[in-house]
Amino acid sequence: GAGVSQSPSNKVTEKGKDVELRCDPISGHTALYWYRQRLGQGLEFLIYFQGNSAPDKSGLPSDRFSAERTGESVSTLTIQRTQQEDSAVYLCASSLAGLRAQHFGDGTRLSIL
Amino acid sequence: TQLLEQSPQFLSIQEGENLTVYCNSSSVFSSLQWYRQEPGEGPVLLVTVVTGGEVKKLKRLTFQFGDARKDSSLHITAAQPGDTGLYLCADAGGTSYGKLTFGQGTILTVHP
């Protein structure tokens, strides 16, 4: 069975450009999370989606960051006007429901030049 | 804001040795999870502990949860190169869903 799929796996872009990262959750998983992992660090929570409820955006570091999810399917994380400090691995996870085990994708490694 | 501290930050050992890594929280854990993350991959859940004093075993891995539910340890017996990776502890506290707060991790390298 397919796990959580993220694309692209790697993205290199110039400072000031916008980037869009994609996450395909496991089919049937209603909860979806985005995390950021800086080099050698733990994961920082960014945003949480649960079904059609309003997302929890409390972890987004600035208004340059936004995310969308249509129903219980694909999610996109958009970073506008990228800065060098945005360089990190962006990980997506999904679960059957909020308190169930989270299954992570392999992440998108974002490098801002 | 809850802070999770993991120690040591780095650990390099030979195959066959035993090791212990630690996770300490500034506040009581709601539920504690341990993950292992290999380079280029996402974290994979190893275990969830909820009850103070709880001990769980997963083959050569033993997880202990402190009585006060503010600390935990992960002990690996007879480490193997396949155990190499980043070990992360996380808490899903304070919310009605699984928003996780992670420690910074312990990077373990097991040399053949």
- pLDDT tens for residues A23-44? 999 998 999 999 999 987 889 9
Q: Which residues of A touch B88 (CB under 8 A)?
A: 42-43
> CB contact, 8 Å: B40 with chain A?
yes
Banded pLDDT at A52 (limits 50, 70, 90): confident
Please check whether residue B22 is in contact with residue B76, taking contact to mean a CB–CB distance below 8 angstroms: no
Structure token digits, residue A65: 């960051």
Contact by Cβ (8 Å): B34, A101: no
Q: How far apart are CA B35 and CA B109, in angstroms?
A: 16
Mean pLDDT across chain A, nearest whole number?
A: 92
Say yes or no for a CB contact (<8 Å) between A91 and B100. Answer: no
Place of tokens 């890594």: B21
Consecutive sets of 10 residues in chain B, 112 residues long: mean pLDDT of each?
A: 92 97 92 92 92 93 93 96 96 71 95 96
The end-to-end CA distance of chain A, in Å, is 36
- SS3 of residue B38 by DSSP: coil
Q: What is the pLDDT of residue B6?
A: 97
CB contact under 8 A, B41 and A93: no
Beta carbon pairs, A and B, within 8 Å = 63
- Confidence at residue A96, expressed as pLDDT on a 0 to 100 scale: 87
B46 touches chain A (CB under 8 A): no
Tokens 């630690």 locate to B22
* Cβ distance of A48 and B97 shorter than 8 Å: yes
User: Would you state the pLDDT for residue B93?
Assistant: 66
B24 CB within 8 Å of a chain A CB: no
- Please tell me whether the peptide bond between B39 and the residue prior to it is cis, using omega within 30 degrees of 0: no
CA gap A76, A6 in Å, rounded: 10
pLDDT band at A101 (very low <50, low <70, confident <90, very high): confident
User: What Cα–Cα distance (Å) separates residue A113 from each residue in A52, A81, B98?
Assistant: 37, 12, 34
Q: How confident is the model at residue A71 (pLDDT cuts 50, 70, 90)?
A: confident
- pLDDT band at residue A97, thresholds of 50, 70 and 90? confident
Residues of B in contact with A93 (CB under 8 A): 42
Exposure b/e, B98-108, CB count within 10 A at least 16 = b: bbbbbbbbbbb
For chain B, say whether A105 makes contact (Cβ under 8 Å): yes
Q: Which residues of A touch B103 (CB under 8 A)?
A: 42
Instruction: Write down the pLDDT at residue A70.
Output: 84
Sheet of B61-65, strands arranged across: B4-7, B19-25, B71-76, B61-65, B55-58
